[in-house]
Structure 1
Amino acid sequence: MTDYDVIVVGGGTSGMMAAISAAEHGAKVAVVEKNKTLGRKLLVTGGGRCNVTNNRDKEEIIAHIPGNGRFLYSAFHQYDNYDIMAFFRSNGVALKEEDHGRMFPITDKARTVLEALIEIMERLAITVYTDAPVDTLLFEDNKVAGLRLQDERELSAKSIVLSTGGRAMPRTGSTGDGYKWAKKAGHSLKPLYPTEVPVLSDEAFIQDKTLQGLSLRDVALSVLNKKGKKVITHQMDMIFTHFGISGPAVLRCSMFVHQTMQRDKTDFVTFSLDALPELSKGAVTQQLQGLMKNEGEKSTKNALKGLVPERYLLFALERLGVDENAPLKQMTPDQLEKFIEFLKDFRFTANGTLPIEKAFVTGGGINTKEVNPKTMESKFTSGLYFSGEILDYNGYTGGYNITGAFITGRIAGMHAAAQALENHE
């Protein structure tokens, strides 16, 4: 039986950081990974460029982790996004800032980040087992004892960090293995749901692909509850697809689709789309009245072009029964009113999202009330720590989930090492 102070199960973003942190704090560390290589999901993050963190203050980062981000407060006070940047820079990875505070390696390659992490692990003499699926974790008297691999080998440890990820993107190895071991240690799971995922709609205009492939820039997209109140609004780009809607604004709304359907006990939610969020309804009305006065002789299609993309405009006119080739001045006051309504508040229903396997991020996971937020240790089993997406918190894309992964990994590794070394005495 091979003996370690700390074993990290899962060699992804959070797991590698946990291992480095534990080794820097003096522990003898091993990483056990079922894939043939480390960091498979890391390589596909940020479109393969790896958005390592975000250059915003703590409060704003936590606000961008709408799924239970408050759990991360204590961890952030020990290690934060600026520490992540310093960590990479001091290890030879130069970073640059892009829109919305997103930080990338200047090489624009996720591999740069992965290679740096692997190099640090080699320097710290961390043992890495790849192609090594775990059969089960071993506990004795509510304490961690080690683990057994599927090939029957046993490794003993004083502390174990579970960094096995969620169930999103299973092709990278995230198949939810860690949940069953957490349950074995007495933990409960918050129901899993996909987040940062495209949304499905069976509206007729989606089914007949009227708008398929149409992108709308900088629109305000809102999820409404059954009382018609806005649950969340995101102003970003979106795209209509053959199955529904996608794009940044949609991905950010996706977790609220699930939550609202659950809360309202319905099998659909209503979206409201404002194509001109920078203009008030009054300003749009004035603009259209001006056009009717000055361009009233032109065809409706030509007089209104430039307001919104042409396909979207023609879609609106057809819905309202307006002849696109008739002069604009023939539009009735009722049609004008409905057209303004369409521009500012086009409503359509969505009935869920693509499945968790197609999502970027897993919502739900290990109940954080059962985990010490200062150390990431299990409240039930001594020496068992958690980090990353296995925990019930989730953020928007833009460097927020990976920030959570690095920070929880750093904290879990540090405290796992401290506890293991205490037990050396």
Structure 2
Amino acid sequence: MEKFDVIVVGGGSSGLMAAINAAEQGVRVLVIDKNPKLGRKLLLSGGGRCNVTNRTTRSELIKHIPGNGKFLYSALNQFDQEDIIAFFEGRGVALKEEDHGRMFPVTDSARTILGTLIDVMNKLGVTVRLKDPIDSVLYEAGRVVGVLTRAGERILAPSVVLAAGGRAYPRTGAEGDAYAWARSAGHTIERLYPTEAPLLSHDEVIVTKALRGVSLRDVAVTLWDVQLDGLSAAEIAHTVCHEKLKALTIHQMDMIFTHFGYSGPAILRASGHVNQYLHRTGFKEAYLTINLAPNESREALMAVAEDMREKQLLTILKHWMPEAMAESILTLAGLDATTPYKQLVHVEFERLFDLVQAYPLTAYESQPIEKGFVTGGGVSTKEVNPSTMESRLTQGLYFCGELLDINGYTGGYNITAAFVTGTIAGRNAAWSSFAAE
């Protein structure tokens, strides 16, 4: 029967950081993982380039982690984005900053990041066991005492860090095993749902594939807290533009029409909110709109059109969007593409610009959690100490990474949460093991 001071279950981003920070305190650490290799999901992050963090302000970071981001305040006071950057640069990894504060290794390879984490861990003498799934976490008298492997081996430790991930990307081994281990310690698992996942729709343009493959650049996608059943597309656009409705979330980025619905960064960021809205309300569909010229006011749009008043409507709309999108708007507005702008009456150009600023979409759900980038839901943060990542219910049990009910947008926010929670969990798990001796 082996004994360690800290056992880290899961060899992903948060688990590797937890193991490193625990070992730096001088304790004996075991990383145990059912996968044949460490960091399988990390290698897929950032499109294989690994967006290690986002160099933004603390408030912006929290804002971009809509799933309980405020829980991270205490942890970020101990280890934040700049510390992540210093960690890698201090170990010879050159980083570069790209748009919106995203930080990547200059090699543009996630293997650089994973290799660095493994090298540091090896130098610290961390023991690694792969292809060794655990069956359960062992508890006695309200505290952790170790783990039991599926092979029937008991491995003892006074501190256990659960870093086994959520359910997104199951091909990386993320099957939600750790939820049962957390429940056995009395923890609540908040409802699991997909985030950063494409949206599914029965809209006519999707069913007919009229806009399949059309990409839109720098548009604003808004999810509305309203049901607009029975209204035409033009009526929905008019309602959105001229009535005070509650917007649940707005994301100004790119998007794309697919054969099943909608995707692209703006849609992915809205998806978790859509899933939560549909679950909360019980509605069958969520209503969203696209502002195809979000940087222009209605007056500015009309001024541009007026300057081209002799030209056909299709030609004018192509100033702001792809031709196929312009054709769809004209169809919904009931206008002929060849009509010169100067021939429109007031109600017609109002209808036209309503659709430019609020082209309507609906979504009935997103792709399933297994196809999402990030798992929403997880171990309730109310039951975890935000300063240490230790369970409030079971002594010596720590949580980090996607297993927690924390989720952010793509752009380096989720891996930041993983590195931060892993660091804090690892350090405190080591210190707790001293007290248990």
Partner of 1:383: 396
Shift of 1:320: 2.3
Partner of 1:347: 360
- Residue pair 2:333, 2:355 contacting (<8 A) in 1 also: no
Partner of 1:291: 308
Shift of 1:289: 2.9
1:42-80, Cα deviation, whole Å (9 max, x unpaired)? 000000000001111222111111111011111111111
Mapping 1:10-409, distance limit 5 Å: 10-226=10-226, 228-292=245-309, 295=310, 298-409=311-422
Q: Distance in 1 between matches of 2:10 and 2:317?
A: 56
1:280-305, Cα deviation, whole Å (9 max, x unpaired)? 1122123223322xx2xx44333443
Q: Distance in 1 between matches of 2:426 and 2:159?
A: 9
* 360-369 or 56-65, larger mean C-alpha shift: 56-65
- Residue pair 1:205, 1:211 contacting (<8 A) in 2 also: yes
The runs of at least 4 aligned residues of structure 1 exceeding 6 Å deviation read: none
Partner of 1:420: 433
Shift of 1:326: 3.8
Secondary structure of 1:421's partner?
helix
1:352-401, Cα deviation, whole Å (9 max, x unpaired)? 10000000000110011111111100111110000000000111110000
Q: Distance in 2 between matches of 1:359 and 1:268?
A: 19
One-letter amino acid of the counterpart of residue 225, structure 1: D
After TM superposition, the score normalised by the length of structure 2 is 0.94
- Residue pair 1:201, 1:352 contacting (<8 A) in 2 also: yes
Shift of 1:263: 2.8
Q: Distance in 2 between matches of 1:70 and 1:54?
A: 16
- Residue pair 1:322, 1:331 contacting (<8 A) in 2 also: no
Q: Distance in 1 between matches of 2:150 and 2:301?
A: 65
Shift of 1:247: 0.6
Cα RMSD (Å) = 1.2
Shift of 1:332: 3.7
- Unaligned stretches of 5+ in structure 2? 228-244
Q: Distance in 1 between matches of 2:398 and 2:260?
A: 40
- Residue pair 1:95, 1:105 contacting (<8 A) in 2 also: yes
